[in-house]
Amino acid sequence: MSLAIVEQLQEDGRRPYAAIGKAVGLSEAAVRQRVQKLLDQGVMQIVAVTDPLTVGFRRQAMLGINVDGDLDPVADALTAMSEVEYIVITAGSFDLMAEVVCEDDDHLLEVINKRIRTLPGVRSTESFVYLKLKKQTYMWGTR
């Protein structure tokens, strides 16, 4: 039942609990309780998702980062940067992958060259600049 509630919210994060209840066969109060439980457990978040281009951020990139030594201090430093939207520790060609959102190319260069490459432990970076976003979805949580 919680999965059905999540699916309803993925379609419209502002959908009223009464409408969700009708769709999934629960009362409004039961939906409210289940949603709160999902939020409290960290299973889901209800947030506004913006298009970076429409709010003044003209440059996005994924950065592959190789690190000497312990990955956690570098990953923690990256999570503190406002430009870093996403960071994962990976297995493969890179130790870390970080998605950055910047105002323009100069801002991207400053973030990479002056802030990321200068972090202790960073051995190398490789940039994958986004030219065009073809798909972005958040539906994977209910497959």
Residue 64 shares a structural domain with residue 104: yes
Q: Is residue 28 part of a domain?
A: yes
For residue 50, what are the CA distances in angstroms to 24, 54, 121? 28, 8, 33
Domain of 116 in residue numbering reads as 53-129
Residues 115 and 71 in one domain: yes
pLDDT in tens, the chain (143 residues): 688 999 899 888 899 999 999 999 999 999 999 999 999 999 888 887 777 777 777 899 999 999 999 999 999 999 999 999 999 999 999 999 999 999 999 999 999 999 999 999 999 999 999 998 888 777 666 65
Per-residue model confidence (pLDDT) at position 120: 98
Do 90 and 32 fall into the same domain?
no
**Per-residue pLDDT, 141:** 62
Number of domain units in the chain: 2
Tokens of 29: 């109060």
